[in-house]
Amino acid sequence: MDPTRPLAVTVRIDSPQAVAYRLWFRQPEETDWTAFATGDDQSPNPSTYSVGPLPRGSVLRYFALISGNPQTAYRLELVVAQGGAPLQPPLLVAGTTDGDGTASEGGEVEP
Amino acid sequence: MTPARGAAWVAGALLLAAPAAAQKPYAVPESPAFTFLNATPAQVSRPATARALAANVLNGVSPLTGQLQQGVAMDMAPWSFIPSVSIPLSEYQRSRAKYVLANTQLSLATVRAAADTAATDLAVGVRITLVDHSDPMADTGFTNELRRRLRSCLPDQPTDAAMAQAEACNREQTQALRRQWLGDRGHWNDASLAAATAAGWRFDRSVLGAARWQGWAAWATGAVPLGRGGQAIGQVRYNAHAGAQDDGLAYGGRALYGSAAMNAYVEVAGGNRAGETSARAEWTGGLEFRAADNLWISTGFGSRATAAGESRGVLVADLRWQLADGPHLGMGQR
């Protein structure tokens, strides 16, 4: 990661559920997270959000709420890129909604 | 029925608690492979990626002996294994082909064979929903409101406590909105059409190469609304198990009208099955009352065929578990 250039985080939703998500970053030495994007399945698909430049050691975090029919497959994809080139392989987030039709996914990415 | 026979029928009416299964229409199963094997697995794996599917399949075969493992149960959406296939909600709501693809479910199960504990029975099945107007996810009004509520549930900070709270909010809002859409807004009885089929094999000594054909079965169910408060359901099942007593055609129909707390119903069931002495249809009519959440008390009367092929009247007193979000039973569970 080049700390002088912004990052682009792309979120793609591939499955038939309502999805709302939020993206945060945290710089080294910070305790709180700063939200830089909030989107949902009605946002352009895929949606790309710009963040940074961020110093080395920064962390990105995502959290998505998913709601659809019970026991249905869901699939989201996150790509972190810089200067048009992905910094790592796409992050595939997949699973099955529970008996109520809900699921949530969250995690961290170190660019 | 002649008047004389009708009188005899009334006079001969039996006071008995009729088992629900005897009159239960033949609903399209959620997982046809499990139904084909008459299995109710305690744990069902639901792989959502090709990698997870491969892992599940490998787990179904013993690495030491190459034999099939008993007790495997899988339910899956085949579209999710193909990375190039994408069905976002907007396309689910716009494209019939993508709707059907998203609602096509494969199931696979293995169980210990009934007569031979060393043998394994395996079944695969597919279930297709062609139309389901009681699917809230196909309604843009429902999903717009659901999306708005989901956004309001998102946490400001991604802490464990805040995310757990957001998950609870998601569940609460989803349940409430779904209940409102199905019940209060009168969608519970909307039209639907689904079909399923399953086939099975027996593997002697559980060896992969020793498969014997065990037959197949197929189901179809259609439902249409009867005004705002009613629904008519037609169901057909064909069983072609190897030599089973219930092989053949079976059908069931059910019409009901009422509210979320009470309804009047008429059911008919019949068929042409190898193990039955009479092909005459049986029917039941009566009232159902909601006793508690998902539990209904059913009472009424009807006719049953005796072993001699005669019709006899029966009085029905029954408890039934509700499987759907409306005053109807056994249909359209989502």
Residue A64: inside a domain = yes
All residues of chain A having their beta carbon less than 8 Å from the beta carbon of residue B171 are 100, 102
Q: Which residues in chain A (79-98) have CB-CB distances under 8 A to chain B?
A: 92, 94-96
- Taking residues A104-109, what's their average pLDDT? 94
Domain-wise residue ranges, chain B: 3-139+187-321, 140-186
Give Cα separations from B49 to A75, B45, B52 (angstroms). Answer: 9, 12, 5
What DSSP character marks residue B49? S
Asked if residue A73 has pLDDT above 80, the reply is yes
- Taking residues A30-37, what's their average pLDDT? 93
Which residue does chain A place closest to B31, by CA atoms? A71
The four Cα atoms B66, A95, B168, B333 give a dihedral, to 10 degrees, of: -80
Contact assessment for residue B298 and residue B317, using Cβ atoms and an 8 Å cutoff? yes
Burial (0-12, 13-18, 19+ Cβ within 10 Å), A76: buried
Asked if residue A6 has pLDDT above 90, the reply is yes
Contact assessment for residue B153 and residue B173, using Cβ atoms and an 8 Å cutoff? yes
- For the question of whether the overall pTM of this predicted structure is more than 0.90, the answer is no
Contact assessment for residue B108 and residue B122, using Cβ atoms and an 8 Å cutoff? yes
CATH code at A57? 2.60.60
Asked if residue A38 has pLDDT above 80, the reply is yes
As given in the structure block, the two tokens for residue B154 are 């998102």
Asked if residue A2 has pLDDT above 50, the reply is yes
Q: Which residues pair with B237 in a beta bridge?
A: B219, B250
A22/B137 CB distance under 8 A: no
- Angle (deg, nearest 10), helices B140-153 and B160-179: 160
Residues 6+ apart with CB under 8 A from B81: B47, B49, B50, B53
pLDDT at position B25 is: 43
Asked if residue A14 has pLDDT above 70, the reply is yes
Residue A44: inside a domain = yes
All residues of chain A having their beta carbon less than 8 Å from the beta carbon of residue B80 are 15, 73, 75, 94
Question: In a mutagenesis test of the B interface, which of A11, A61, A75, A108 is the best target, namely the one with the most B β-carbons within 10 Å?
Answer: A75
The count of structural domains within chain A is 1
Look up residue A71 and give its amino acid: Q
Look up residue B130 and give its amino acid: L
Which residue does chain A place closest to B104, by CA atoms? A72
How big, in percent rounded to 5, are the helix, strand and coil portions of chain B? 25, 40, 35
As given in the structure block, the two tokens for residue B66 are 């190459």
A94/B49 CB distance under 8 A: yes
Scan for tokens 């197949």, then name that residue: B216
Among residues B314, B114, B331, B311, which one has the least CA distance to residue B222?
A: B331
pLDDT at position B66 is: 75
A15/B147 CB distance under 8 A: no
Output the tens digit of pLDDT for each of chain B's 334 residues.
444 443 333 333 333 333 333 334 457 888 899 989 888 888 888 988 888 888 888 888 877 777 888 888 999 999 999 989 999 999 999 999 999 999 999 999 988 887 777 888 999 999 999 999 889 999 999 999 999 999 999 999 999 999 999 999 999 999 999 988 887 667 878 899 999 999 999 988 888 888 889 899 999 999 998 887 888 999 998 988 866 677 888 888 989 888 767 889 898 888 776 655 556 678 888 898 877 766 778 888 888 776 666 777 777 777 765 544 443 333 333 3
What angle (nearest 5°) sits at the alpha carbon of residue B300, between those of residues B299 and B303?
Answer: 135
- Taking residues A54-60, what's their average pLDDT? 93
Question: In a mutagenesis test of the B interface, which of A45, A65, A75 is the best target, namely the one with the most B β-carbons within 10 Å?
Answer: A65
Give the integer Cα–Cα distance in Å for B175 and B293.
Answer: 14
Interface of B with A (CB under 8 A): 46, 48-49, 52, 75-77, 79-80, 85-92, 98, 102, 135-137, 143-144, 146-147, 150-151, 153-158, 163, 166-167, 170-171, 173-175, 178, 334
Provide the residue range defining the domain that includes A48. Answer: 7-106
As given in the structure block, the two tokens for residue B86 are 């994408």
B334/A20 CB distance under 8 A: no
pLDDT at position B324 is: 44
